[in-house]
């Protein structure tokens, strides 16, 4: 149980285009999902907290107009990188929090999406 998927697993796009990444909780409901960014050989940096049915909460320094987050249902959150530039190339990882009582304090991570902007 507690499986999180991401789609696509990797994407290459041209500079100036937009890319959408999906994060799904497959076997549980997640009112809260998190989006992280990981640069090569570095740790995960939280970008934003996605709440179902409301606006996402962005971390300091993260441009909300560039990284659009939508959490339309209890099992799906999307991250759209708008007008992507090469510096946006990174590994994007989502996680989801299970509502179930015994697992409230855990996050379950997706496999990540590698974005390369050319």
- CB-based contact 8:21 (threshold 8 Å): yes
| 22 vs 82, beta carbon nearer other proteins | 22
110 contributes a contact to other proteins by CB under 8 A = yes
What distance in Å separates the CA atoms of residue 69 and residue 66, rounded to the nearest whole number? 10
107 contributes a contact to other proteins by CB under 8 A = yes
CB of 77 to other proteins, least distance (A): 15
| 66 vs 114, beta carbon nearer other proteins | 114
What distance in Å separates the CA atoms of residue 81 and residue 79, rounded to the nearest whole number? 6
What distance in Å separates the CA atoms of residue 20 and residue 29, rounded to the nearest whole number? 21
| 27 vs 106, beta carbon nearer other proteins | 106
Stretch that binds other proteins, among 14-22, 60-68, 80-88, 103-111 (CB under 8 A): 103-111
Alpha-carbon distances, residue 85 vs 2, 26, 88, 90, 103 (angstroms): 33, 31, 5, 11, 38
Q: Which residues bind other proteins (CB under 8 A)?
A: 4, 6, 32, 34, 41-44, 46, 49, 91, 93, 95, 97, 104-112, 114
């Amino acid at each position: 149980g507690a499986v999180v998927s991401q789609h696509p697993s990797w994407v290459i796009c041209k500079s100036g285009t937009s890319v959408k990444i999906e994060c799904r909780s497959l076997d549980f409901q997640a009112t809260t999902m998190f989006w992280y960014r990981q640069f090569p050989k570095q740790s995960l940096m939280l970008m934003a907290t996605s709440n179902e049915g409301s606006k996402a909460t962005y971390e300091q320094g993260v441009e909300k107009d560039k990284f659009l987050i939508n959490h339309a249902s209890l099992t799906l959150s999307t991250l759209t990188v708008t007008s992507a530039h090469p510096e946006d190339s990174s590994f994007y990882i989502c996680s989801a929090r299970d509502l179930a009582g015994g697992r409230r304090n855990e996050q379950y991570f997706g496999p990540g999406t590698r974005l390369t902007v050319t």
